[in-house]
Amino acid sequence: MQTDSSFTFVLFGGTGDLSMRKILPALYEAHRAGGMLADSGKIVAVARHIADRAAYIDWVNEHVKPHVSKNGVDETAWASFLDRIEFVKIDLGNPEDFTLLRDALSGRAGIRVFYLATGPSLFVPICRALASVGLNENSRIVLEKPLGYDLKSSNAINDAVGEIFAEEQIYRIDHYLGKEPVQNLLALRFGNVLFEPLWRREWVESIQITIAEELGVEARGDFYDNTGALRDMVQNHLLQLLSIVAMEPPHSMDSDSVRDEKLRVLRALKPIDPRDIGKVAVRGQYHAGVIRGSAVPAYATEPGVKPDSNTETFVAVKVEIENWRWAGVPFFLRTGKRLADRVAEIVVNFRAVPHSALGASALRGGANRLVIRLQPNETIRLYCLAKQPGEGMNLASVHLDLAFDRFFREGQMEAYQRLLLDVINGRLALFVRRDEQEAAWRWVEPILNEWATANKPPKPYAAGTWGPAAASAMLAQHGTCWLEEEN
């Protein structure tokens, strides 16, 4: 991950929540590790509510420092990291201010990275303003989600940005693709002969992908109420994880080889007939409840949320892939806020043995399963049956455990750190290509449209539970259940 390339990293939205919690801490960790960032590399923060660099450094010390280094801050490394930071005060609504940025970047060697940690409504104006002062050459642009509200608006943004930046300059970020277990999923599948023969419909009964959060909408009520869980999580994170799980082996790990295979999965998703949406998609909204002993309010009473809102905070959907490898295997995707636990995981349930002389437990589907935990602790567990000690042939579930923090002594790289280094070094494999994004929007649009026209309220669920009962009923129709229900 080392680079000798000089760079200038320009951070739009330099005082925003994403910059505070993720981007600047990730850049600090790369700096602290040594050798990952060129010594000449600079970070230029852009904002309009800060007077000058001194005031911005004070802001970074107050708001960013608490989010870095779980094991404490290295004060020497922190001081030298702050030396990398410069500041330009710009009103993003005034294109003429971008001459100030052009002057600040004049004469700098190396690549320019423009990270747009702003609302999507600013993506096109920022790109056009950059082009107006000649800053779109020898540069890369990073676009945060959500990229549009639907296929039409996503295409409009991509068309406008594509007039200014070539596709190979555009980095559409999905931080789940940078997580260590997702990378290890690729290594597990394509680096070992053990799993590949089993990674198909003959041996896999079903696959679950869950991203669950304990938190509510926090201070994002106004944004979230116009977005919802399907747009916020399913269209991007969950479908990207699905494409990684289900993709064919690429001929190499170069960016287009990997993304070509992901695209084939997204294009093979079975279209959902609007008449079947009630059978294969569940939407819910949390009501008041209790999480870890603390009472939490209903979604409709959160700040910024309309009291009569029909926005979903939970989605569970059954997905099918129409190709030879996965035909007939259901993929169950689930995401929600104010659920019972914070967890992101992929569960591969293998089929039961066709005949067993060892008893009924060996014939149970899911007795063999692979659980890839993305958060909070990053692990890969392979479950199988073994004989319990003692008299008789009694079987119990045991697991082989790869816990990265115990097996590898060196610290794991956080997702944003890996992805930011990939941008600086020009590696596109872990970023979403436009055609992938279009295929994902095209698949979710029938659900969006049906929910909008039906105008039915989401199914209620109490905060601190695992969502509406209908999500469990959907799996029960296929003779299975969510992992936590079995445990």
Domain 7-144 in this protein, CATH class: alpha beta
| pLDDT band at residue 366 under the 50/70/90 scheme | low
Whether residue 89 is annotated as binding a ligand: the answer is no
Residue 60 has pLDDT above 60, yes or no: yes
The per-residue pLDDT for range 70-90, each reduced to its tens digit, is 667 889 999 999 999 999 999
Question: What CATH code is assigned to 177-410+451-486?
Answer: 3.30.360.10
pLDDT tens, residue by residue, 442-470: 999 999 999 999 888 999 999 999 999 99
- pLDDT > 90: percent of the chain: 72
Taking 50 as the threshold, does the pLDDT of residue 124 lie above it? yes
459 is in an annotated binding site: no
Higher pLDDT, 247 or 405: 247
Distance (Å, whole) CA 275 – CA 268: 20
Determine which of 70-79, 134-143, 310-319, 432-441 has the lowest per-residue pLDDT on average. 70-79
At residue 1 the predicted structure's pLDDT band, cuts being 50, 70 and 90, is very low
Q: Sketch the domain layout of the chain as residue ranges.
A: 7-144, 177-410+451-486
pLDDT greater than 50 at residue 2 = no
Residue 360 pLDDT class (50, 70, 90 cuts): low
Other C-beta atoms lying within 10 Å of the C-beta of residue 248: 15
Does the annotation flag 97 for ligand binding?
Answer: no
d(CA 130, CA 141): 10
49 is catalytic: no
pLDDT > 90? residue 204: yes
Q: Could you give the CA distance from residue 446 to residue 272 in angstroms, rounded to a whole number?
A: 7
337 labelled ligand-binding: yes
Q: Choose among 251, 209, 180: nearest CA to 411.
A: 180
Would you list the DSSP string of 149-171? Answer: SSHHHHHHHHHHHHTTS-GGGEE
Strands 170-172, 139-143: pairing is parallel
Sign for the pseudo-dihedral over CA of 346, 347, 350, 351: negative
**Region of residue 172 (left: phi > 0; alpha: psi -120 to 50; beta: else):** beta
Q: Say which of 63, 67, 237, 251 is annotated catalytic.
A: 237
Report the chain's mean pLDDT, rounded to a whole number: 91
